[in-house]
Amino acid sequence: MSGCLKMFFFTAFIFSVNVYFNNLNAQNNPSGFKVIGFYTAKDDKAHISFVHEANRWFSQAAKEYNFIYDSTNNWDNLNEKFLSGYQIVLFLDTRPEAEPQREAFKKYMQNGGAWMGFHFCAFALTPSSYLQNWDWYHNEFLGSGSYVSNTWRPTAAILKVEDNNHPATKNLPDTFKSAPNEWYRWSNDLRKNPDIKILLSIDSTSFPLGTGPKLYEIWHSGYYPVVWTNVKYKMIYINMGHNDIDYENNTNKELSFTFDNPLQNKLIINALLWLGSKN
Asked if pLDDT for residue 172 goes beyond 60, the answer is yes
| 19, part of any domain | no
pLDDT band (50, 70, 90) for residue 150: very high
Q: Is 199 helix (H, G, I), strand (E, B) or coil?
A: strand
Contact predicate 120/238, CB 8 Å? no
| 22, part of any domain | no
What's residue 256's pLDDT? 98
Across 1-5, 69-73, 135-139, 205-209, least confident range: 1-5
| 3, part of any domain | no
| 21, part of any domain | no
Check which CATH number belongs to the domain holding 210 and give it.
Answer: 3.40.50.880
Read off the amino acid at residue 132: Q
| 10, part of any domain | no
| 18, part of any domain | no
Residue 236's φ and ψ, nearest 5 degrees, are -150, 135
Q: Which helix (H) or strand (E) holds 54?
A: helix 45-65
Q: What is the mean pLDDT of residues 113-134?
A: 98
Asked if pLDDT for residue 3 goes beyond 80, the answer is no
Q: Would you tell me how many other CB atoms lie within 10 Å of the CB of residue 37?
A: 23
Q: What is the mean pLDDT of residues 21-50?
A: 77
Asked if pLDDT for residue 276 goes beyond 60, the answer is yes
Predicted structure pTM score: 0.89
| 196, part of any domain | yes
| 20, part of any domain | no
Q: The domain containing residue 251 runs over which residues?
A: 32-276
Contact predicate 93/41, CB 8 Å? yes
Split into its structural domains, the chain has a count of 1
Q: Which helix (H) or strand (E) holds 150?
A: strand 147-150
